[in-house]
Amino acid sequence: MPVGKCIKATIAVIGMLLGLAPIAAPASCVQGAPPAYRDITYISVEQSSLVDKMHPKYSFTGTLYPTGPKGVHADAWLTAKHGTRLRGYFVAADQLGTFQRLLGILRRDRFFELRLTPIPPVYLDGPEDGIIVSWCGVTTTLGTASYAGEVSLSDVAAQRFFHLEDDLRHAIFAERWITPTPQPVR
């Protein structure tokens, strides 16, 4: 066999063997595996304040539904009350794109790495904001609402949370929203 063909055959065999070698990759929805952004199927972003009328009051909900081996469908809804450029009930014109763009922001701003600092119970009249994601049957909530216990609103962790919240709000309101037909029942 000529030397050139021998080298090509050797390279082909090495390539096949490397193709069989296990590659370290995070498992998806496996017990004990760390959260993976690709596994998120639900995103909720809510901002509200009982005392601050300038604080935006809205809620966004996005849900991803697998529809087959490679297909997906998404719902993306917005309810805007005040402090935003919109008021009412809306559906995203590009629901899957909206979901994917918000998922990209969660990844970029490292949602799964964020933590808020607990503080001793005190009565705070402040924002009741939350970001909720579901993945692999697990729901992760990051928020300032008191049902989860009081958290600091002024440390570095809170600033990272508020930065993520601002990024999500800007992306949500940059989307094109349309009025659903028929209107949802209130």
Q: What is the CATH number of the domain that holds 63?
A: 3.30.1560.10
Each residue of 39-53: pLDDT tens digit?
999 999 998 876 666
Residue 17 in domain: no
Please give the pLDDT value at position 56.
80
The whole-number average pLDDT for the span 77-94 is: 88
pTM of structure: 0.76
What percent of the chain is predicted at pLDDT more than 70?
73
* Cα 155 → chain centroid: 23
Domain interval for residue 131:
37-178
Q: Which one is predicted more confidently, 177 or 8?
A: 177
Residue 15 in domain: no
Q: Which one is predicted more confidently, 185 or 31?
A: 31
Please give the pLDDT value at position 1.
54
Please give the pLDDT value at position 182.
72
Structural domain count of the chain: 1
Each residue of 131-146: pLDDT tens digit?
999 999 999 988 887 6
